[in-house]
């Protein structure tokens, strides 16, 4: 793997860093005793003084900017605090990350020359570029081609935790990675294959939703607000500082949520210096009732991932046919459920997932459930050689290149890295051969009928295409006129079928979509991707659409 100097997990609620190695460890950046993380919070008071982390977290509620990472998830340009101050979200994120770097330096860590970052699997290429740009603006050096999806990071952390204890597998095992954090839920179905050294990991399916801890905090706060009105005639909306009180209630609700992960009942209370709000007893039963609709959405996300994985089983079932398979049958393939993220510590999470997948062994991604929030950064900082690390969709761009009438090269992005290869609607209507279809026509003023297909990493580095049998370089050139152009479809099993304007057909298969890694220490300038050419020049390819990963 790449020679990187630091692992970084910029989370919705907290930010952590880890020193890489065969046994990576979290590097302390917290101010308080026993705290290794920095709260992802910034505040600005009326005098323009900025605070970060714990200082901002303890400061005036109306001045706080919380969960700025959600601005990337939701594609929002700004964030607003309770006082009504609006700031560019990117400025807030950059300044929090600058504080992370400053604390690293205070604690003796000075090398930020190659930082590996993780992000939600649901993020697009544009969202990933946005994050990496902000990481670099904050004084770290990172590369977008070296970003790991959070469920992949959690998979690595979990497997290494088992491997380092001497636990091995003799046959293929399948795990569901359930990463429930502050802003997003990521679910991945991962196959582990036994090897002499570390295992091969293949991400069969991955899905995500922007519903997680923050949403539960809001739901619990609304419940408490309603109880305050009904039991104490305390009407938040009528108060002078209503918005500040709402923030205070939401933060107190979050604290109750965390406490109720370990006890059956706790007391809801707000600092009286903020507002004179009555106290309440809140039970875990109440929390579970409030959590139930959100957990139902999470279970639906898991079921979608299981059905997606089932459609790749090689038996050619259509979407509606897979939809009819009982969830008990789908769940029977799962050997492990791996929990990551702070929200996964709520007992209801493990209980509901165990009920859904009764044969699976439910484990936390780290040996200690209380440290499972560090699983992402520990996975990102793991330097062990997981060479066979394969993802569920292309993480590189497909680009058509041609010459204009002045002889200048023109580039057209026809598939952007990380774009899902199909939609749920395609599954629902029963489309059997799921894939991403591209129809491209050259500009009418283009004199050249020859176009070239290039594949590049998301960071812009060329991916050299090699013939899977001979190992020779492939140059993919096609005819494209202004009436027919080029039609291409990328299938979920790695098949690529292209028809050019002369009626010729090119069929190839990428056996695996590998996780592309950039090795800065070796200064590699080329990636390689092996393609098996199935047919060329007018064939009638009718091969299987679904491929069982091997």
Which are the contacts of 142, defined by CB distance < 8 A and separation ≥ 6? 8, 114, 115, 116, 117, 132, 135, 136
Q: Where in the chain is the domain with CATH 3.90.640.10?
A: 213-287
CA dist., res. 33 & res. 56, Å (int): 17
Q: Considering only CA atoms, which of 543, 436, 529, 440 is closest in space to residue 491?
A: 436
Helix axes 213-232, 242-259, angle to 10 degrees: 110
Strands 148-149 and 115-119: parallel
Q: List the beta bridge partners of residue 14.
A: 39
Contact status, residue 157 vs residue 317, Cβ threshold 8 Å: no
pLDDT of residue 549: 29
Q: Which CATH class is domain 149-210+296-386?
A: alpha beta
Q: Considering only CA atoms, which of 214, 188, 175 is closest in space to residue 69?
A: 214
Task: Please state the CATH superfamily assignment of the domain spanning residues 213-287 in this structure.
Answer: ATPase, substrate binding domain, subdomain 4 (3.90.640.10)
Strands 173-180 and 336-340: parallel
Contact status, residue 325 vs residue 307, Cβ threshold 8 Å: yes
pLDDT of residue 315: 66
* H-type alpha helices, 200-283: 213-232, 242-259
Residues in the chain: 550
Q: Where in the chain is the domain with CATH 3.30.420.40?
A: 6-146, 149-210+296-386
Query: Can you tell me whether residue 181 is helix, strand or coil?
Result: coil
Spell out the per-residue pLDDT of the chain, length 550, in tens. Answer: 446 789 999 999 999 999 988 788 999 999 887 789 999 999 998 888 999 999 999 888 889 999 999 999 999 999 999 889 999 999 999 999 999 999 999 999 989 988 999 999 888 889 999 999 999 999 999 988 878 888 888 988 998 888 777 777 788 899 999 999 888 899 999 988 877 666 778 888 888 888 888 889 999 999 999 999 999 999 999 988 888 899 899 989 989 998 998 899 999 999 888 888 999 999 999 999 999 999 999 999 999 889 888 877 666 676 678 778 899 999 999 999 999 988 888 999 999 999 999 999 999 998 776 677 889 999 888 877 654 566 677 888 999 998 877 788 889 999 998 888 877 666 656 666 678 899 988 876 555 678 888 888 888 888 888 776 777 888 888 888 878 889 998 877 677 888 888 888 888 877 666 666 544 443 344 566 777 766 544 333 333 332 222 2
262's tokens: 């370990």
pLDDT of residue 534: 61
Q: For 338, phi and psi rounded to 5 degrees?
A: -110, 120
CA dist., res. 544 & res. 101, Å (int): 51
Report the Cα 13 to chain-centroid distance in Å: 15
Which are the contacts of 496, defined by CB distance < 8 A and separation ≥ 6? 488, 489, 490, 506, 507, 508, 509, 510, 531
For residue 513, give Cα distances in angstroms to 48, 159, 251, 528: 48, 21, 42, 11
Q: Which fold has domain 6-146?
A: Nucleotidyltransferase; domain 5 (3.30.420)
Q: For 314, phi and psi rounded to 5 degrees?
A: 95, 5
Report the Cα 18 to chain-centroid distance in Å: 18
pLDDT of residue 541: 36
Question: Which string of b and e fits 497-511 if b means at least 16 CB within 10 Å?
Answer: bbbbbeeebbbbbbb
Contact status, residue 26 vs residue 6, Cβ threshold 8 Å: no
pLDDT of residue 41: 96
pTM: 0.84
pLDDT of residue 447: 59
Q: pLDDT for 429-476, tens place per residue?
A: 666 667 889 998 887 655 567 888 888 888 888 888 877 677 788 888
Q: Considering only CA atoms, which of 46, 74, 39, 48 is closest in space to residue 62?
A: 46
pLDDT of residue 514: 66
pLDDT of residue 520: 41
């Amino acid at each position: 793997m790449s020679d990187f100097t630091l692992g970084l997990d910029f989370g919705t609620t907290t930010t952590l860093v880890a020193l890489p190695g065969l046994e990576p460890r979290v590097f302390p950046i917290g101010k308080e005793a026993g705290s290794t993380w920095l709260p992802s919070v910034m505040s600005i008071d009326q005098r323009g003084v900025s605070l970060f982390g714990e200082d901002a977290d303890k400061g005036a509620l109306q001045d706080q900017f919380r969960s700025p990472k959600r601005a990337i998830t939701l594609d929002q340009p700004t964030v607003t605090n309770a006082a009504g101050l609006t700031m560019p979200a990117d400025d807030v994120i950059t300044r929090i990350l600058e504080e992370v770097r400053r604390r690293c330096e205070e604690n003796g860590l000075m090398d930020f020359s190659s930082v590996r970052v993780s992000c939600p699997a649901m993020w697009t290429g544009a969202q990933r570029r946005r994050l990496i740009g902000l990481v670099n603006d904050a004084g770290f050096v990172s590369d977008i081609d070296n970003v790991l999806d959070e469920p992949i990071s959690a998979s690595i952390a979990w497997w290494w935790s088992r491997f380092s204890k001497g636990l091995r597998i003799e046959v293929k095992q399948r795990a569901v990675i359930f990463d429930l954090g502050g802003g997003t839920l990521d679910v991945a179905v991962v196959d582990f294959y036994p090897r002499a050294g570390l295992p091969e990991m293949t991400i069969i399916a991955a899905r995500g939703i922007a519903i997680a801890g923050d949403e539960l905090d809001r739901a619990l706060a609304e419940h408490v607000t309603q109880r305050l009105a009904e039991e104490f005639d305390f009407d938040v909306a009528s108060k002078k500082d209503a918005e500040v009180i709402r923030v205070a209630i939401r933060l107190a609700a979050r604290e109750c949520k965390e406490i109720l992960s370990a006890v059956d009942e706790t007391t809801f209370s707000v600092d009286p210096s903020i507002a004179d709000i009555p106290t309440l007893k809140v039970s875990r039963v109440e929390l579970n009732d409030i959590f139930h609709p959100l957990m139902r959405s999470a279970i639906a996300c898991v079921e979608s991932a299981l059905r997606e994985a089932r459609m790749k089983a090689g038996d050619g079932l259509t979407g509606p046919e897979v939809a009819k398979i009982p969830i008990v049958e789908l769940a029977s393939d799962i050997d492990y459920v791996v929990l990551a993220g702070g929200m996964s510590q709520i007992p209801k999470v493990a209980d509901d997932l165990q009920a859904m997948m009764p044969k699976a062994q439910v484990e936390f991604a780290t040996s200690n459930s209380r440290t499972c929030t560090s699983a992402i950064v520990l996975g990102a900082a793991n330097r062990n050689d997981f060479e066979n690390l394969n993802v569920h969709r292309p993480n590189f761009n497909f680009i058509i290149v041609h010459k204009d009438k002045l002889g200048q090269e023109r580039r057209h992005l026809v598939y952007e890295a990380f774009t899902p290869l199909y939609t749920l609607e395609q599954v629902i209507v029963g489309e059997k051969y799921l894939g991403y279809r591209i129809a491209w026509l050259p500009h009418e003023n283009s004199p050249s009928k020859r176009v070239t297909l290039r594949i590049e990493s998301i960071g812009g580095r060329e991916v050299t295409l090699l013939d899977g049998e001979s190992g020779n370089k492939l140059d993919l050139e096609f005819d494209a006129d202004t009436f027919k152009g080029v039609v291409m479809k990328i299938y979920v099993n790695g098949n690529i079928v292209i028809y050019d304007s002369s009626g010729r057909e090119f069929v190839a298969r990428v056996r695996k979509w590998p996780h592309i890694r950039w090795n800065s220490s070796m200064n590699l300038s080329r990636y390689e991707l092996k393609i098996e050419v199935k047919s060329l020049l007018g064939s009638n390819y009718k091969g299987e659409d679904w491929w069982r990963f091997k």
